[in-house]
Structure 1
Amino acid sequence: MQFLSNMRSTGFALLFLFTSFTVFSQEITVLDADSGNPVANIAIYNRDKSRTAISDFNGKSDLGVFSKNERITFRHISYEVYNTTKAQINKKGNRVYLTLKLEELQEVVMSVSKWEQQKKDIPQKIESIDARTISFINPQTSADVLQNSGKVFVQKSQLGGGSPMIRGFATNRVLLSVDGVRMNNAIFRGGNIQNVISVDPFTIKNTEVIFGPGSVIYGSDAIGGVMNFFTQKPRFSFTDSLTFSGNVNYRYASANNENTAHVDFNLGQQKWASYTSFTYNDFDDLVMGEHGPDEYLRNSFVARENGTDVLVNNDNPRKQITSGYDQINFLQKFTYKPNNTWNYDLGLYYSETSDFSRYDRLVRPNSEGDGLRSAEWFYGPQKWFMANFQLTKKGKNKFYDGVKLTTAYQRFVESRNDRDFQEVDRFTTKEKVDALSINLDFENKKIGDLRLYYGAEYIFNKVNSEGSQENIETNIVSRAASRYPNGATWQTFAGYINGEYKLKPNFTLLSGARYSQVWVDAQFDTTFFPFPFDEADLITGAFTGSAGFSWFPKADLQITLNGSTGFRAPNIDDIGKVFDSEPGSVVVPNPDLEPEYAYNAEMGIRKNFKDKLVLKGAAFYSYLVDALVRRDFEFNGQTEILYNGELSNVQAIQNAAKAYVYGFELGLEAFLTENWSLTSNLTLTEGTEEDDNGTDSPARHVAPTFGDFHVVWQNQKLKADVFLNYNGEISYDDLALSERSKEFIYAIDENGNPFSPSWYTLNFRSQYQISNALKTTMSLENITNQRYRTYSSGIVAPGINLILGLGYTF
């Protein structure tokens, strides 16, 4: 019996020791949230720092000195501070994931060569917007992501829009890219575009904006700049078990009664992972501000009553009827990494909107000035699908240290539908573009201090375009002229090489060259218009290059200088478009076009004053020759033709102009204390177009002077931002000729001429981290309720706007 009693006592003692060990000792692993690599030298301590620990080379640390529910802080100079408890860590498999600080993330960029490069070695201006910044901004669309950066001007013809302007260039002269695949296709137009809204801001991991030509890497269209959207990557598990995590978000905005719901989740094993995302947006009609030009008010709108179009007085002239729409976005990604050498990635992207009105066309007055011209003018559902497969191999090789094969298929679907007031015929054009692309990119860093990047690209676009005319009373549908030649193709093949040479530790040279060959083939249907030609068969080539340096004469001073060329080859929109471009004018095809070229120079400076104040500045100058512009034209010897029942002035896209654009970009960051900081941006741009006859006129896509000023306070839980947004005036004399005819979207000066007034808004934005899993955002935009329209925009900006957001991480 005594023996049994002793055994029982010993058992209880061992159980007590085991329980004590599991309660008071806990080995955890600290990992980088992005790469999954262990993080060493993480300081771990409790609230009063009476108990401490540190992670070793393998990211491991013993938390035995801390109690189960004691609040523990993880701190490292390169990572965001993280607070949690042992109990919460245990629920997550004894792993702690830390996120790099924003300034650390921006040290590496990918857009210049498609491979990782140190940002400090790049002579071009590049700005990064990461997922944490986007989460704080809480934008409605990706166009708003760019606009809220304070560095990119965005024009909106309607609520479902957003056309970025960079250094005086826009639309088909700036390039959009998603995960390394260009979105620009054969029908990207010179008029304002809204394709950027197809990218879901909830899925963006990082956005990199290249200012100035990026044609060496991206080819045609990258004249003014490149906007590269990198979406979230699936995350692997760093244990033997399957991991599951995700986010749920909700957002509400009062100015357009927005309701947005988002969910994403990640499944991860050690060798494979999956990321799934879904977002639904519901936007109501947008309400403009109270104080501003009366010309912006929506005093009346067209309604259909008893089979007749009638003009109805708007009970609330600040409500922009009809501007609301719905949108869904879906993203599915898979990644497989069998070893440290190979990586396979598959991405499936889908975006679709409901019908949405082109608001600026709905407010056009009729020729008599006593009513509205259009009863309907709306885009059909804008659909975008992309399947993107990427294979990456890393490791030493005779010809490369890394190779990346990217293949993608995209389908774009869009349509335009318009019907004049009290007319029964609705005209519709519907376009589908199938786009295939193959990119093969190599990285080589074997030749001493010289690092080479080179590759090849092939792109093929096919355009399907149909036109129809429907009688809305009888529902009889008949054929009508299509917007583009049906079956037209656009394709390009190119090769490039880019070199980075570190002449000294503080001096880096970057230079590159590219040759592109472009083929366009279009067959014209003469059923509706007797074209003097049957086809357009263009073969054009373009050579582009860049050279620049990044120099640190002192550790806290950087000077950059860069020269580059860019080009845009004519596409199907330039060559074969037939559409109502503006009241009383029609654009006809012109098969005799050549590429346009841009020559750019820029100089930048960045000075860091003891990590307390950072000043940045850049000056740039661009010269565009053989510019593709819309000008008066003759069609079969006629300067006017009948189009959709209206005698219209004939115009066409022509190589008929030169353009000069120059300006300055200034930035400031001040870190006053650990909690307080200031940031500010200011962009000044001037531009002129010159016709072949020597006549100068203001360039259309040169934005007004714009900027912002932010006062930010933050601690570990709360971040608050009070800021001003500002736009300068564009007077009538400085207004582009094509804009002067659009009086209905501008204010009227004392001489009765249209102009774009200056404006500013006062705003507040905040984010509070309730717990590691739950956060909330609250913003109050345009607090003084200003009524303003950003330059060239059709829709009036929101009035006072309360935005609420709630996010939960699991």
Structure 2
Amino acid sequence: MKHLYLSLLILCLHPVFSQEKDSIKVSNLDEVKLESQRYLASNRKNPQQIQRISQKEIEFGNFQTTAEMLSNSGKLFVQKSQQGGGSPVIRGLESSRILLLVDGVRMNNLIYRSGHLQNVITIDENMLENADILFGASSTPYGSDAMGGAVNMVTKKPTLLSESNKSFSGSLNTRYGTINSEGSAYIDLKYSGKKWATLTALSYNSFGDLKMGKKRNGNNPFFGLRPFYVETINGIDYVTANPDPYVQKFSGYKQYNAMQKILFKPNATTSHDVNLQFSTSSDIPRYDRLTDVRNGNLRYATWNYGPQKRILAGYKFTKQKAFLNSDLSVGADYQDVEESRIQRNRNNPSEESRIERVKVYSVNFDLKAKVGKGELLYGAELFYDDLNSTAFKRDIITGVKSSTSTRYPDGQNYTLRTDAFANYFSKFNDNTSYSLGARAGYSKLSSEFIDKTFFPFPFSTIEQKNFTYSAAFGIVNNSTKNVKVSFNLATGFRTPNVDDLAKVFDSTQGNLIVPNPDLQPEKNITGDLGITLYSGKSFEFENTTFVTRLYDVIVTDTFTFNNQYVVDYNGETSIVMANQNLGKGYIFGYSSSLRWNILKEFKFYGSYNFTYGRAQEGGQERPLDHIPPHYGKVGFNFENKWVSLDLNMLYNGKKHLKDYSESGEDNLQYAPANGMPAWQTYNFKAAIRSIDYVTLYAGVENILDIQYRTFASGINAPGRNFYFGTKLNF
């Protein structure tokens, strides 16, 4: 299939290029926008690879969640341990090694783990104006964690009367999907005045148990069926036969989201913005754990993520020419995040709950000024993260509560980080532009153990201080209208957080992760070479090759606790593990994307992504975790005034056993014995705009009802899904 796609690309190239000799002028670098980003939006001028998912694509795609929006874009890979999740992977780096942003505000906090995360679903895709994916080290604009890149999710904004021409407006979206009895609704209301504007948005999503595909995937065996599940009646656990093994029992959940934005612009040069966001959910079953087997039978009766709550309250002040002839943006943000884990072994009445409450306070100063031929974007920011980790056991029969071990230290846990940064965008001549950037900062972490009943650690506190730095350089040449050549070199870093340094966690059956106070920051350097071919506005073929070197890689490996390699944990003999800086590593890869408007209303598009990664230690190499097989998307799109139609194929290659990491993060236990099979799905989407202000959506996903599972995931992907939706603008 890969060879078919490459052949199509070659065929597409043949009639297009005539190598026009006219030089192309690079206009003023005016795409640096302070409200949400510290990067150039223009593809022709940006040395870093950036892909945008536009509001038009989001609305037409009619996706169930933001995780589905990202995975169906073909631009990056997404892992799932349960239906209510989705962990993006950028260039083989995942979770705490990539940065999630909402409206330019960091979502990553001191408990973002290196495994798999589900935080991205706390942002409703209907609330998005666009999503930008930054590929490669992005620590210079955004600091710690952005080693593999960043995903900046930009939500919709209120608009003044001068822009909207309507005082009151809004939209209503509804959607139903058959594969999980999905029922979703979204509404937004806008008020636009001369100086004041507001936007209010609400959404609700209900997802039932997910059905997997029923058709065999090529010659691969069926796997992931759910023949039995545990149900609890009057405090007694029963292993019950599933009447339909294709229904992944206990995978459904509900999601609630709200957003309020207020804009006040007293004059042409000054604005005040308030950004309030709230998200919560029902309990979300950790589906992969519910399928775990011990001694030949299901291990857990309950394994849920408790309601995942996210609150964001932000204020931003912007003023042109406010300081040293610089445009100024000052932001102050508060985030309150709650996560919990609720688990109970089968035939054990004791249910354990571990709750993490994180509060994040941040202040940033962004300034932009014309300097010479270019623009200087500079500033400073400060973050303070605070964690309260609690836990208890509850007898489901008597209701009596008792103490149990917390996931993180039970005392005061905090991180403090302050950075200064500068990025300069300019040009050598009309054809060649460049960018320079640097960042320097200081970070401090402190964790405190109060109750050491469950783990008699030989220390009571963990403290760490680090000076951090990064730099970036890029150059872009547009010598003709047909060709863009770019090179980008950037460093990244990630300072260890509380999850890295102080977590006590039963990672997999028989393994216990314990704290390692000696952990150091991990770093990387990435070089990109990009070549993009154009033919007017009708053809674009982008190709990027990258190489990343990793230093002081944090990996989980065998360790000792009180000089012991094996300990007793929750009545089970466990091997002691810990996060450690072990050696070096490298990742290299290639990506390409194609857009060809064959006719005015008919377009062909495609993408292909390949990644290869290895850790190096003591002269030996072993596979890095989180490295996906090759993947991408190919499709045809037809669009006119009344209708939009899209037929596409999403695909993943095979993940061979020899390429699985030994760390356990690749979840080999949830894959077939021979590794994760390759797969492809065929999908059709349609939108009809036959009535003013009303758009009707319909489609079928996984048309062939193929049974498959994406790499490192613990739940089978959806089978054939028919969906129907309506959007009303008013």
TM-score bin (small chain): over 0.9
Per the alignment, residue 770 of structure 1 pairs with: 690
Is 2:211 aligned against 1:291? Answer: no
Paired amino acid for 1:510: S
Q: State the alpha-carbon separation in 1 of the partners of residues 634 and 533 from structure 2.
A: 19
Q: Is the alpha carbon distance of 1:117 and 1:258 closer, same or farther for their aligned partners in structure 2, counting shifts above 3 Å?
A: closer
Paired amino acid for 1:261: A
Q: State the alpha-carbon separation in 1 of the partners of residues 323 and 336 from structure 2.
A: 38
Paired amino acid for 1:734: D
Quote the offset at 1:270 in angstroms. 0.5
Per the alignment, residue 256 of structure 2 pairs with: 328
- Map of 1:189-228 to 2, 5 A cutoff? 189-228=113-152
**Does the Cα contact within 8 Å between 1:739 and 1:792 map onto a contact in 2?**
no
Per the alignment, residue 422 of structure 2 pairs with: 497
Is 2:722 aligned against 1:799? Answer: no
The structure 2 residue matched to 1:699, chosen from 624, 631, 634, is 624
Any gaps of 5 or more consecutive residues in structure 1? 1-105, 750-754
Quote the offset at 1:744 in angstroms. 4.2
The structure 1 residue matched to 2:526, chosen from 600, 615, 618, is 600
The structure 2 residue matched to 1:441, chosen from 361, 366, 389, is 366
Q: Is the alpha carbon distance of 1:137 and 1:410 closer, same or farther for their aligned partners in structure 2, counting shifts above 3 Å?
A: same
Is 2:417 aligned against 1:488? Answer: no
- Map of 1:140-151 to 2, 5 A cutoff? 140-151=64-75
Q: State the alpha-carbon separation in 1 of the partners of residues 527 and 165 from structure 2.
A: 53
Q: State the alpha-carbon separation in 1 of the partners of residues 37 and 190 from structure 2.
A: 29
Is 2:705 aligned against 1:785? Answer: yes
Per the alignment, residue 402 of structure 1 pairs with: 327
Q: Is the alpha carbon distance of 1:116 and 1:618 closer, same or farther for their aligned partners in structure 2, counting shifts above 3 Å?
A: closer
Paired amino acid for 1:790: T
The structure 1 residue matched to 2:236, chosen from 298, 302, 308, is 308
Per the alignment, residue 285 of structure 2 pairs with: 357
Quote the offset at 1:741 in angstroms. 8.8
Q: Is the alpha carbon distance of 1:240 and 1:414 closer, same or farther for their aligned partners in structure 2, counting shifts above 3 Å?
A: closer
Q: State the alpha-carbon separation in 1 of the partners of residues 141 and 409 from structure 2.
A: 30
Q: State the alpha-carbon separation in 2 of the partners of residues 470 and 646 from structure 1.
A: 20
Paired amino acid for 2:85: G
In structure 2, the residue corresponding to 1:135 is in which secondary structure?
helix
Is 2:551 aligned against 1:631? Answer: no
**Does the Cα contact within 8 Å between 2:532 and 2:543 map onto a contact in 1?**
yes
The structure 2 residue matched to 1:647, chosen from 546, 567, 573, is 573
**Does the Cα contact within 8 Å between 2:79 and 2:87 map onto a contact in 1?**
yes
Is 2:472 aligned against 1:546? Answer: yes
Any gaps of 5 or more consecutive residues in structure 2? 1-28
Is 2:181 aligned against 1:265? Answer: no
Greater Cα offset, 491-500 or 652-661? 652-661
Quote the offset at 1:372 in angstroms. 1.0
Q: Is the alpha carbon distance of 1:635 and 1:619 closer, same or farther for their aligned partners in structure 2, counting shifts above 3 Å?
A: same
Quote the offset at 1:305 in angstroms. 3.2
**Does the Cα contact within 8 Å between 1:675 and 1:713 map onto a contact in 2?**
yes
Quote the offset at 1:113 in angstroms. 5.6
Q: State the alpha-carbon separation in 2 of the partners of residues 344 and 405 from structure 1.
A: 10
Is 2:672 aligned against 1:747? Answer: yes
Quote the offset at 1:742 in angstroms. 4.4
TM-score, scaled to structure 2: 0.93
**Does the Cα contact within 8 Å between 1:127 and 1:209 map onto a contact in 2?**
yes
Q: State the alpha-carbon separation in 1 of the partners of residues 638 and 137 from structure 2.
A: 36
Per the alignment, residue 589 of structure 1 pairs with: 515
Paired amino acid for 1:302: V
Determine which structure has more spread, i.e. the larger CA radius of gyration. Answer: 1
Is 2:686 aligned against 1:760? Answer: no
Is 2:633 aligned against 1:708? Answer: yes
Per the alignment, residue 153 of structure 1 pairs with: 77
In structure 2, the residue corresponding to 1:143 is in which secondary structure?
helix
In structure 2, the residue corresponding to 1:737 is in which secondary structure?
coil
1:535-570: CA deviations, max 9, x gaps?
111001111000010111212210000000000000
The structure 1 residue matched to 2:103, chosen from 171, 179, 184, is 179
Paired amino acid for 1:360: D
Q: Is the alpha carbon distance of 1:652 and 1:740 closer, same or farther for their aligned partners in structure 2, counting shifts above 3 Å?
A: closer
**Does the Cα contact within 8 Å between 1:113 and 1:498 map onto a contact in 2?**
no
Paired amino acid for 1:236: L
Q: Is the alpha carbon distance of 1:241 and 1:627 closer, same or farther for their aligned partners in structure 2, counting shifts above 3 Å?
A: closer
Q: Is the alpha carbon distance of 1:738 and 1:628 closer, same or farther for their aligned partners in structure 2, counting shifts above 3 Å?
A: closer
**Does the Cα contact within 8 Å between 1:684 and 1:706 map onto a contact in 2?**
yes
Q: State the alpha-carbon separation in 2 of the partners of residues 239 and 564 from structure 1.
A: 38
In structure 2, the residue corresponding to 1:338 is in which secondary structure?
strand
In structure 2, the residue corresponding to 1:197 is in which secondary structure?
helix
Q: Is the alpha carbon distance of 1:298 and 1:405 closer, same or farther for their aligned partners in structure 2, counting shifts above 3 Å?
A: same
Q: State the alpha-carbon separation in 2 of the partners of residues 159 and 116 from structure 1.
A: 34
In structure 1, the residue corresponding to 2:223 is in which secondary structure?
helix
Q: State the alpha-carbon separation in 1 of the partners of residues 255 and 538 from structure 2.
A: 43
- Map of 1:224-243 to 2, 5 A cutoff? 224-238=148-162, 243=167
TM-score, scaled to structure 1: 0.84
**Does the Cα contact within 8 Å between 2:376 and 2:424 map onto a contact in 1?**
yes
1:379-398: CA deviations, max 9, x gaps?
10000000011111113x66
Greater Cα offset, 765-774 or 716-725? 765-774
The structure 1 residue matched to 2:339, chosen from 405, 414, 417, is 414
Quote the offset at 1:441 in angstroms. 0.5
Q: State the alpha-carbon separation in 2 of the partners of residues 699 and 116 from structure 1.
A: 31
In structure 2, the residue corresponding to 1:629 is in which secondary structure?
strand
Is 2:445 aligned against 1:520? Answer: yes
**Does the Cα contact within 8 Å between 2:645 and 2:684 map onto a contact in 1?**
yes
Quote the offset at 1:440 in angstroms. 0.3
1:469-510: CA deviations, max 9, x gaps?
111121111111111113200110000111112111110010
Q: State the alpha-carbon separation in 2 of the partners of residues 786 and 421 from structure 1.
A: 32
Quote the offset at 1:779 in angstroms. 1.3
Q: State the alpha-carbon separation in 2 of the partners of residues 799 and 132 from structure 1.
A: 26
Q: State the alpha-carbon separation in 2 of the partners of residues 734 and 239 from structure 1.
A: 53
The structure 1 residue matched to 2:401, chosen from 468, 477, 486, is 477
**Does the Cα contact within 8 Å between 2:626 and 2:666 map onto a contact in 1?**
no
Per the alignment, residue 427 of structure 1 pairs with: 352
The structure 2 residue matched to 1:345, chosen from 265, 268, 273, is 273
Q: State the alpha-carbon separation in 1 of the partners of residues 163 and 248 from structure 2.
A: 54
The structure 2 residue matched to 1:457, chosen from 361, 365, 381, is 381
Per the alignment, residue 655 of structure 2 pairs with: 730
Q: State the alpha-carbon separation in 2 of the partners of residues 252 and 321 from structure 1.
A: 20
Q: State the alpha-carbon separation in 1 of the partners of residues 669 and 165 from structure 2.
A: 62
In structure 2, the residue corresponding to 1:748 is in which secondary structure?
coil
Q: State the alpha-carbon separation in 1 of the partners of residues 113 and 403 from structure 2.
A: 24
Aligned residues: 696
Q: State the alpha-carbon separation in 2 of the partners of residues 380 and 388 from structure 1.
A: 26
Paired amino acid for 2:224: Y
Paired amino acid for 1:183: M
**Does the Cα contact within 8 Å between 2:169 and 2:190 map onto a contact in 1?**
yes
Paired amino acid for 2:486: T
Paired amino acid for 1:560: S
Per the alignment, residue 685 of structure 1 pairs with: 611
Q: Percent identity?
A: 36
Q: Is the alpha carbon distance of 1:633 and 1:471 closer, same or farther for their aligned partners in structure 2, counting shifts above 3 Å?
A: same
**Does the Cα contact within 8 Å between 1:107 and 1:120 map onto a contact in 2?**
no
**Does the Cα contact within 8 Å between 1:365 and 1:744 map onto a contact in 2?**
no
Quote the offset at 1:198 in angstroms. 0.6
Q: State the alpha-carbon separation in 2 of the partners of residues 511 and 123 from structure 1.
A: 11
State the superposition RMSD in angstroms.
1.8
Q: State the alpha-carbon separation in 2 of the partners of residues 239 and 280 from structure 1.
A: 29
